[in-house]
Amino acid sequence: MIALGLEGSANKLGVGLIRHDMTTTPPTVTILANLRHTYHPPPGEGFLPKDTAQHHRSHILQLVKDAMAEGNITPKDISVICFTKGPGMGGPLTSVATVARTLALMWNKELVGVNHCVGHIEMGRQITGAENPVVLYVSGGNTQVIAYAEKRYRIFGEALDIAVGNCLDRFARVLNLPNDPAPGYNIEQLAKKGTKLLDLPYTVKGMDVSFSGVLTYIETNAPALLASGEYTAADLCFSLQETVFAMLVETTERAMAHIGSKEVLIVGGVGCNKRLQEMMDQMASQRDGKVFATDERFCIDNGIMIAQAGILAYQTGYTTPLEKTWCTQRFRTDEVFVAWRE
Bind-site residues for substrate: 137-141, 169, 184, 188, 273
Question: Of the candidates 285, 187, 278, 186, which has an alpha carbon nearest to the alpha carbon of residue 237?
Answer: 187
DSSP string for 65-116: HHHHHHHT--GGG--EEEEEEESS-HHHHHHHHHHHHHHHHHHT-EEEEEEH
Distance CA 207, CA 209 (A): 7
Query: Residue 174's beta-bridge partner residues?
Result: none
Pairing of strands 80-86, 2-7: parallel
What residue spans of the chain are helical by DSSP H? Answer: 49-71, 90-107, 116-128, 164-174, 183-191, 212-228, 233-259, 274-286, 296-299, 303-315
Distance CA 61, CA 202 (A): 45
DSSP reduced 3-state for 17: strand
DSSP reduced 3-state for 1: coil
Q: Compute the C-alpha angle 160/241/170, nearest 5°.
A: 65
Q: Compute the C-alpha angle 208/213/256, nearest 5°.
A: 20
**C-alpha 164: how far from its chain's center?**
12
6 near 96, Cβ under 8 Å?
A: yes
Four-residue CA torsion sign, 65, 70, 74, 77: negative
* 26 preceded by a cis bond (ω within 30 of 0): yes
Residues annotated within the binding site are: 116, 120, 137-141, 169, 184, 188, 273, 301
**212 CB-contact burial (10 Å; exposed 0-12 / middle 13-18 / buried 19+):** middle
Residues annotated within the binding site for a divalent metal cation are: 116, 120, 137, 301
Distance CA 167, CA 158 (A): 14
